Structure 1
Amino acid sequence: MFYQPLLALLAFRTTLSTAVPLAGPTIQLDSATFTGTTSGKVSKFLGIPFAKPPTGDLRFRLPQPNAPYTGSITATSFGPSCPQQAVNLPIPEGLAADAVDYIVNTIFNVIFPDDEDCLTVNVFKPASATPTSKLPVVAWIFGGGFELGSTSMYDGGVIVDRSIAIGSPVIYVSMNYRVTGFGFLSSKEVKEAGVGNLGLQDQREALRWIQKYINTFGGDPTKVTIWGESAGAISVSLQMLANDGNTEGLFRAGFMQSGSPIPVGDITNGQKYYDAIVSQTGCSGASDTLSCLRTVPYAKLKAAINQSPGIFAYQACIIDDMMNSLILAWLPRADGVFLSDNPQKLVQQGKVANIPFITGDCDDEGTLFSLSTLNITTETELKTYVKNTFLPGVSDADINKLTSLYPQDITQGSPYDTGIFNALTPQFKRIASFQGDGVFQAPRRFFLEHRSGKQNTWAFLSKRLKALPVHASDILNVYGGGEMTDYLIRFATTLDPNGKSGLQWPKYTTSSPKLLTFLDGLIPQIITQDTYRKEGMAFLTNITLAHPI
């Protein structure tokens, strides 16, 4: 079973460097002096506001730039996370109750306290960098299903330390952005007000902050690479599609780990979640429900949002009431302005920023999210689930086609290459396979196939940590100081992940769709072909294009 290693991964995300800091360095921004900390060769300036607090009348509005900074400001600790979705993990019987309590109540609710006033950035720089250094910048966007996550979960010092060690120093910036209903409220009211996709808009505002201030830290605003994992990687791809591909000069490259343009429809598709919040907060009778929501006390609004299905939603009894944890309540949707259409339609239309990018996935993307489907044990239940939840609106013929392309044979399911192991139910590995392909692998391949030959692209597959065959396991290969760290740094520096030594990573083309593949064992990296489950992924892509979320 893979749940014990999952705890290790979550614990890793909470581990930050604890080296004793030296005397605090200072930075002058506008007429303010910010004091940070220095640990070894890295200086850190944490919790710097990049926009006005999105509270009061600024709640559910586009991020507003700060007034010029003034005074003396201590920048030695991360700011609070943006409001987080309540976590309810679907833990199979047998996992220790204290471990569940640790994940839910300690990691997410204590280590990462949240607050509505949360729009801050963090800058990690070589201590020796000066305003004339003109170093490349990596801008990190965290993941968490657009419902969870915080910059404080990741130590950017690892990246900067490694960049110094290999002679290619970079600046690392991370940004908080609004998640859950605070950042991705969706409805006709939201669309009419022009305030959709606020979480993505927050990211954009943070990128504008980088353009304005990063040179003071030693960074070059013309050399920004946006980089993310999971929802963060999806965010990177959507920033490439925003404004029909206009980067506004905010970034020159993208690096995506486990996330690509997803098949989402119009922002009004989230109407039922909006209406539920309006009802629960007592705003139903208001003539302007959106304005009413801005006046609701924070705790009451957050409690209402927490009633919506979370990323690990799990209803174990009634098949028709199941909520697939990959069909999220809160996620980016086409708002007609920032995202003018279904992201995959924008890819088809060529409305993509013409910049180099890297994208890839873990081998077993669907396993973690398929824990919400453990009560599906028969073929009949599986077909009902697909028809009512995973792909609502598809025909019975399409469902039969899907089940033939993703058969019940557990040796073909995900976690892949694990034989008869990890079959939590007779249908689990099968569901994990088509869910992982439908939400992660197929969109990645679709994106690459449409952009091959139009811009420089590289792709990877992580088949490491088969003891932990879950989405996000590749984070250890970058924040844990693995080879991915070097590829990232070189890419941010030269727009090519390859160096003078080591396995050369070939560009991805439709005629030769090669993947840099990371493996466990004595041979850590090989080059493979991106042709696996070709028919299944093509089918899923066609289905989701016709039936976006």
Structure 2
Amino acid sequence: MARIKHDGNLHVFQPHHRSLLNRLKIMMYSTRWLVVTTFLFIYSVIGTPLRRAPPVVTLDSATVTGTQFGRVNRYLGIPFAQPPVGYLRFRRPEPIAPYTESFSALTYGKACPQQDVQLSLPGILGLADGIVDFLTNTAWGVALPDGEDCLTINVVTPSSITPTSKLPVIVWIYGGGFQIGSSSLYDGGSVVEKSISMGEPVIFVSMNYRLSAFGFLASQEVKDAGVANLGLHDQREALRWVQKYIHSFGGDPAKVTIWGESAGAVSVSMHMVANDGDTEGLYRAAVMQSGTPVPVGDVTKAQIHYNNLVENTGCSDESDTLACLRALDYEILKGAVDQTPSITGYNTLVLPWLPRTDGTFIKEDGQRLVQQGKIANVPYIVGDCDDEGTLFALVLNNLTTTSDVRGYLKDVWIADATDAELDQILALYPGDITKGSPFDTNIFNALTPQYKRVAAILGDAAFQAPRRLFLDHTANTQNTWSFLSKRLKASPFLGSFHASDLLNSFGGGDLTEYIIHFTNNLDPNDPNRRITDWPKYTTDTRQLMTFQDLPIRRRIITQDNYRQEAIAFLTTVMLAHPI
């Protein structure tokens, strides 16, 4: 049963909401039926044009059948590793055996286990408890069925492709705080269609990877067993699959770009510092939207969360707790994982399960590795939204005084911070609502007296400061471009919120064009100069491509010099006190 925090009070879903849920479910299923029947009607009218031979590829000795719609072929839900179940739970992914039996790749595979959302919203934005529960957990589960057997990959290509086309490949890694998300939420067909229209066709690949404790379990026991950062290893195995099989789809394994947003972007950056920057020939370029290495400690820093998981599953009396967790019934383990802190809860971005230093694959704090130059020397694009912190500050509506904010920083974010460090952070991020986030909105959007202040601190600490450090130590040694998205600035309370730039990259916008140029040419600029030139980022120029929609939708070049003193100080403090 989902437990939802609303207006600061804990509520449990009550029976009198069931009629509402039933009506919502009926509406959802009715809508789904309407879509299906409408499609069948169109199919019957169009007839012959849709009854073309489906596309096929050969993988090893198997024939894989996909689907074609317009100018795009899709091959969905292809297993790329052994199912991580039973003995393979909490172990590194094992390569898939050669394909010997033909199969149809027509639908996405199951999402990896999703952590339940624990949502707390202020009254002005809050919904009835039953609706919140339905939208965050019930509807999500219906729309996104999940399970442990989830390591599948999807390939989307132009329908005109041949095995000798050798097209560039872009590999997408989804976000979701390392707790939720699935490749099925991102239709690569729009990207491929856009690339065809531009005359620069690409192949789009996406994969599922293990999330939450299933993919990022961390503790001394995990470190001793060498099974930390399993979600990253899943992604790495998918990249090896691309090297082995993408030629069958008409792709060039030597022209792979890895691309992610939020947790997916952090993942991309972690691959850049993994193995001290050794790409293993798996990719040649990278794109990161709202994510670079964040300051984290050793996997043992999550020991308390591991211990709680062991306690809540009844494994605490076992001599080998990791073996006990592997042998648990899935529902028991999943229920205990759901009790760990959620990205939509009070801890927000201080996540229990995320990539951490393991001493082998990620040998040190990712930011320290960047500072040491132990990073893949490949061209990359990196950028943030202007108001990264607003979405996460929404759940902290109980912080209404300076004392509350100080206590939150001390208790949750920077437990080891000195009084002087906390005083300086609060001085650099004042309570003046005209200075907070959403930025440049004057007195508006002050949901609570401290909301805009908290949003500014969270956004800079988790996104802007890490991006700037990343650029400071790489921009003069490799080709880099950076952006700032100020689109959707008029969104009430949220401004240009975290993930709002996805509309510009998956919605066929101008960022999509830049990424397609980059995937083809290792340069986001259009060779034919049809869109605004995007200058490289250097520590001397610090030029940002800035996407705006006020007063008109446009692109301008600005300087990456906002909140310099505040962001620099946050960087120093976070490096000294990693999460």
State the aligned residue count: 527
> CA separation in 2, counterparts of 1:265 and 1:544?
11
* Residues 341 and 347, structure 2, Cα contact 8 Å, conserved in 1: no
| Structure 2 letter corresponding to 1:517 | T
CA distance in structure 1 between the aligned counterparts of 2:388 and 2:243, rounded to whole angstroms = 34
- Provide the residue aligned with 1:478 in structure 2: 505
In 2, Cα distance between equivalents of 1:76 and 1:43: 10
Choose from 221, 225, 228 the match for 1:189: 221
Of residues 135, 153, 159, the one that matches 1:121 is 153
Select 1:68's aligned residue among 85, 90, 98.
Answer: 98
Q: Give the one of 100, 109, 127 matched to 1:96.
A: 127
Q: Which deviates more, 214-223 or 376-385?
A: 376-385
Equivalent of residue 541 in structure 2, options 508, 512, 516: 512
Once the 2 structures are TM-superposed, how far is the Cα of residue 106 of structure 1 from its aligned partner?
4.8
Alignment match of 1:226 (pick from 214, 235, 258):
258
Distance in 1 of aligned mates of 2:331 and 2:141:
14
Bigger shift: residues 65-74 or 170-179: 65-74
CA 1:27 to 1:457, structure 2 compared with 1: closer, same or farther past 3 Å?
same
Give structure 2 stretches of 5+ with no counterpart. Answer: 1-27, 44-49
Q: 1:523 to 1:155 in 2, by over 3 A?
A: closer
Structure 1 length-normalised TM:
0.94
Match of 2:205 in 1: 173
Within the candidate set 29, 52, 59, 1:29 is matched to: 59
1:336 paired to 2:359: yes
Flag the 1:33–1:109 CA change in 2: closer, same or farther, 3 A.
Answer: same
Taking structure 2 as the reference length, what is the TM-score of the superposition? 0.89
Name the CA distance, whole Å, in 2 between partners of 1:102 and 1:534: 42
Unaligned runs of at least 5 residues, structure 1: 1-10, 314-322
The CA deviation at 1:201 is 0.4
Tell me how far apart the structure 2 counterparts of residues 453 and 413 of structure 1 sit (CA, whole Å). 31
| 2:275 alignment partner, SS class | helix
The question of whether the paired residues in 2 share the 8 Å contact of 1:324 and 1:373 is answered with: no
Q: Any conservation in 1 of the 2:122–2:395 contact (CA below 8 Å)?
A: no
Partners of 1:325 and 1:60 in 2: CA distance: 25
Q: What SS is found at the alignment partner of 2:101?
A: strand
1:481 aligned partner, one-letter code: G
- The answer to whether residue 113 in structure 2 is matched with residue 83 in structure 1 is yes
Partner of 2:11: none
Correspondence for 1:407 among 430, 448, 462: 430
Please point out which of 487, 506, 520 is paired with 2:514. Answer: 487
CA distance in 2, matches of 1:39, 1:62: 36
CA contact (8 A) 2:292 2:466 kept: yes
Shift of 1:389: 1.1
| Cα deviation code 1:30-77 (max 9, x no counterpart) | 111111100000000000000000000100000000111121211000
Question: Which residue of structure 1 aligns with residue 333 of structure 2?
Answer: 301
Q: Check the 8 A contact 1:324/1:372 in 2, yes or no.
A: no
**What letter is aligned with 1:27?**
V
- Between the aligned partners of 1:425 and 1:292, the Cα distance in structure 2 is 45
Match of 1:243 among 271, 275, 285: 275
Larger radius of gyration: 2
Q: Percent identity?
A: 59
Q: Deviations over 1:78-128 (max 9, x none)?
A: 001000010122222143326524531355211111000000000000111
What secondary structure is seen at the aligned counterpart in 2 of 1:71? coil
Distance 1:107 1:247, change over 3 A: farther
**Do 1:47 and 1:122's aligned partners in 2 also have CA atoms closer than 8 Å?**
yes
Q: Is the 8 A contact 1:260 1:440 kept in 2?
A: yes
Aligned-pair CA distance for 1:523: 4.7
**CA-to-partner distance for each residue in 1:9-30, whole Å, 9 max, x for gaps?**
xx9xx99xx8976542111101
Rounded to whole Å, the distance in 2 between the matches of 1:91 and 1:420 is: 21
Kept after mapping to 2: 8 A contact 1:48/1:122: yes
Question: Which residue of structure 1 lines up, in the alignment, with residue 182 of structure 2?
Answer: 150
1:268 aligns with 2:300: yes
> What is the alpha-carbon distance in structure 2 between the residues aligned to residue 106 and residue 162 of structure 1?
34
Match of 1:525 among 555, 558, 561: 555
Q: What secondary structure is seen at the aligned counterpart in 2 of 1:70?
A: coil
Partner residue, 2:14: none
* Aligned counterpart, 2:452: 429
RMSD: 1.7
- 1:345 maps to 2:368: yes
Question: Aligned partners of 1:383, 1:101: CA distance in 2, in Å?
Answer: 31
Cα distance between partner residues in 2 of 1:327 and 1:368 = 14
Indicate if the aligned counterparts of 1:225 and 1:255 stay in contact, CA closer than 8 A.
yes
Map of 1:320 onto structure 2? none
The DSSP-based 3-state class of the residue aligned with 1:432 is helix
1:362 aligns with 2:385: yes
Output the CA distance in 1 between the equivalents of 2:371 and 2:181.
Answer: 31
